[in-house]
Structure 1
Amino acid sequence: MQAWRVHRNGEPGEVMRFEETGRPVPGEGQVLLRVRAANVNFPDALLCRGQYQVRPPLPFTPGVEICGETPDGRRVLATAALPDGGFAEYAVADASALLPAPASLDDAEAAALHIGYQTGWFGLHRRARLQEGETLLVHAAAGGVGSAAVQLGKAAGATVIGVVSGPGKARTAAALGCDLVVDRRTEDIVTAVKDLTGGRGADVVYDPVGGDAYAKSVKCVAFEGRIVIVGFASGVVPAPALNHALVKNYSVLGLHWGLYAAKDPAAVLACHDELSRLVAKGVVEPLVSERVALSGAADAVQRVADGATTGRIAVLPAGAGAAR
């Protein structure tokens, strides 16, 4: 089969190699899936760099989020079991963690409903307890993780402020439903949030960026607000001043969605049921900005790493990517 493999760590565009290799062999409790769509996530870039919290043995195939087909013909969502990831014609996943793909979504959209939306739902509802009428600030609002948080925030009845970089991403965030879009390149985030909220600040901040985004968040979070730390796409891990959290009475909440699969798999299934319900209502529609052939995966991962994309890029093996 054809697959992208990483033999050494580095930038995705430099270290991902397109190769012919044998089909992976599932281990105990695993299943071999024919990949219908594999969506590009920022962790795929971190895996290539050797900077992710999970470090598979070299060589490995990246691609953590897939819509696949089981040997008995079921269309499912899965987190690929590394080192046999989804940027290939076949991947391996844990059989117990497979989720049914919503029939109303095509393969790329279905794959995009998985990690980003699960992360958003657990971050906003399980960790931050977002309430109707509250104000939600979403950093990188036009990206794969951010766009999911925007839609889920609106579905919860929140006023959503989206932070982006550049006019193209601003248009995307506005189309997703943001009540206010702030271009961090030309506008002051803190001023914009305080102006919209009458000086009160954002009740919940959803931060997959870290660095300066976090620094701005603590200046405009509301009394008893909650800052959800999802990741560090900026490459800078902030060092919180805990005395500041004490003075303003806000909470800093960590979210590693993958832990729920190990610690509380029933919650993951319940979340998928809720997301599928929101899809059926038309409230949630995953943003897939591009669909590329399997041969274009390395370029797609590099562009996501560089912050040059919106929504999700779907990688489609030959013959895959069926429509709804």
Structure 2
Amino acid sequence: MRALVCEAFGPIDNLKVREWPLDSPQPHEVQLEVHAAGVNFPDGLMVQGKYQVKPELPFVAGGECAGIIREVGDAVKGFKVGDRVIAMPGLAAFAESVNVDHKLLMPMPAELDFPQAAGFCITYATSYYAFKQRARLQPGETLVVLGAAGGVGVTAIQLGKLMGARVIACASTDEKLAFCRDLGADETINYNRENLKDRIRELTDGKGADVIYDPVGGEFTEQAYRSIAWGGRYLVIGFAAGDIPNLPLNLPLLKAGDILGIYWGGWAARDPKGNMQNFSELLGFVREGRLQPLTTEVYDLDDFSEAFSAIGERRARGKVVLTMNKR
């Protein structure tokens, strides 16, 4: 089968689409014909050797995908050949086929196509965990989303609105902000030409933001935190800007504010039942028509470099997905 292979840690362009062997699935696994796979910021870090997890070389990256079951292990229950599923293999999703433990599968809702389903798991799960378990976001609270037009930012807008928050979307261009308004953002801030702290204070009548969702890091973190409300919650999602900020600790002291780390994968491994309950609720929102997963950047497997560049250069609006050639 064809797969996107990392032979040595380094630049994305060093990856190769080549033939890769695949064994028969173990008794607890299914073999999935992959139709699409979600691309996430950590995937780029992993192949460069900059992520906290370093797989043994060579390896096939990719943590989430969607496809059709083609083979089922003897111990698998609840799934059969021909089922359309969403999978979270953790690795090896950027390939035409992958073996996945059946506990890491979910039935794919009929309301989704393969690209939508492939990009559903990591970003929506991250944001829902951030809001539900960590921030305990309440209806009527003000939520500020940095990097709001990107893959996780989009999910934060959608889920924030679904949970009843007033959403202020922040991004670097007016075009991105128009996209955020189309998604339902109540207010927008262009932080390349507006003072982020002052504008958040203005839009909240001086109170500040109850919850701030930050997948960007860099220079805007301190500005944003200085606008937080008394008892507010700051969600550390990631560092797409490249720089890990140094936040003066007198700020959370003066605001009685929380700084909450959001490591969905670590939590999911420690609380699998809670994680599956979250997924059950998210898929319920999809089936009820309350949540429409957005996939706007779809690339062929051979165009992987463009897909990663869209994320790395922060050009992507919404989720980035790779689709597999069926040759």
Shorter-chain TM band: over 0.9
Give the letter for the 2:308 counterpart: V
What's the CA shift string for 1:216-252, capped at 9, x where partnerless? 2211110000001111111111233222211110000
Partner of 1:34: 33
**Equivalent-residue separation in structure 2 for 1:173 and 1:263 (angstroms):** 33
Q: 8 Å contact 1:163–1:181 — kept in the other structure? A: yes
Partner of 2:237: 230
Partner of 2:302: 295
**Is 1:101 matched with 2:118?**
no
| 1:86-165 to 2 correspondences below 5 Å | 86-165=93-172
Q: CA deviation at 1:207?
A: 0.8
Root-mean-square deviation over aligned CA pairs: 1.6
Q: 8 Å contact 1:11–1:302 — kept in the other structure? A: no
**Equivalent-residue separation in structure 2 for 1:24 and 1:291 (angstroms):** 28
Give the letter for the 1:47 counterpart: M
Instruction: Judge which range, 149-158 or 20-29, deviates more.
Output: 20-29
Q: 8 Å contact 2:298–2:320 — kept in the other structure? A: yes
Partner of 1:17: 16
| Runs of 4+ with >4 A deviation | 24-28
**Equivalent-residue separation in structure 2 for 1:11 and 1:176 (angstroms):** 33
Q: Provide structure 2 residue ranges, at least 5 long, that are not aligned to the other structure.
A: 72-80
- Out of 281, 301, 314, the residue aligned to residue 307 of structure 1 is 314
Partner of 1:74: 83
* DSSP 3-state at the match of 1:150: helix
Instruction: Judge which range, 164-173 or 202-211, deviates more.
Output: 164-173
* DSSP 3-state at the match of 2:178: helix
**Equivalent-residue separation in structure 2 for 1:284 and 1:51 (angstroms):** 33
Partner of 2:78: none
Q: Provide structure 1 residue ranges, at least 5 long, that are not aligned to the other structure.
A: none
Give the letter for the 2:53 counterpart: V
Give the letter for the 1:184 counterpart: Y
**Is 1:47 matched with 2:46?**
yes
Sequence identity, in percent?
38
For these two proteins, the number of residue pairs brought into alignment is 317
Q: CA deviation at 1:132?
A: 0.3
* DSSP 3-state at the match of 1:119: helix
Q: 8 Å contact 1:39–1:63 — kept in the other structure? A: yes
**Equivalent-residue separation in structure 2 for 1:302 and 1:25 (angstroms):** 34
Larger RCO: 1 or 2 (CA < 8 Å, sep 6+): 1
Q: CA deviation at 1:120?
A: 0.5
